[in-house]
A and B are shown apart, each in its own frame.
Chain A
């Protein structure tokens, strides 16, 4: 089976940087996804990591350490519109993404 753990809620200030952590345990590993979900909307894809290291995409970066079962999503220059839930998902041997409970990020002025 798979177990994914991420903080339930985080708050940050507009313009700041925030790091959302995700730890996982899985039998077999075939990639880790981050999705963003605004309230009442569909999750949308942010990033995918399959090898160790940092993947940068604009204001968002995602890091993976397979040996530690650890990933983080880094959001820079926070904007109010970044207030959303951030979902970490891991694919194991079956390639079926298993999602964590999500981290609700609140960005305040």
Chain B
């Protein structure tokens, strides 16, 4: 596609349920990032993929959060047993970054707004 695509755009769920958020990066972009943005807060880094591997998972807030990337393309962020504090906009970005070297411009998707009731 022309840009980074994320789905769903909006998700309302009940506390305790699991959710999956999907990111389809720009074709050919090897690097993929997940961030989350809470109201009035900056972008909080969650996880970074280079190809299918995740060299940096340091931002995942708890073991309820996991992510995978397959075929060097689509990524899924899974949140298990959601809590109200998980409510945020989850943003995915991709770039042409090589395994070593400068980050390059990040291209962001529109985000998935998660509301946990």
Contact = CB atoms under 8 A, between A and B. Distances in A.
Contact of B42 (A31, A91, A100): A100
What is the predominant secondary structure among interface residues of chain B facing chain A?
Answer: loop
A42 B42 contact: no
Given A87-B42, A98-B45, A99-B42, A31 B103 contact: yes
Given A95-B97, A96-B48, A102-B42, A42 B103 contact: no
Interface residues of A, number: 24
Contacts of A31: 102-103
Interface residues of B, number: 22
Interface in A64-100: 87, 89, 91, 94-100
A31 B105 CA distance: 11
Nearest to A101: B42
Interface stretch (A10-18, A44-52, A53-61): A44-52
A41 B37 CA distance: 12
Contacts of A99: 35, 42-43, 45
A100 B105 CA distance: 17
Contacts of B91: 42-43
A21 interface: no
Contact of A96 (B56, B108, B109): B56
B102 A96 contact: no
Contacts of A41: 110
B74 interface: no
Interface centre among B40, B43, B109 (most CB of A within 10 A): B43
Contacts of B111: 42
Contacts of A96: 33, 45, 48, 56, 103
Shortest 9 CB-CB contacts between residues of A and residues of B: A42-B108, A101-B42, A99-B43, A99-B42, A45-B105, A43-B108, A95-B103, A91-B103, A42-B110
Interface of A: 4, 30-31, 33, 35, 41-45, 48, 50, 87, 89, 91, 94-102
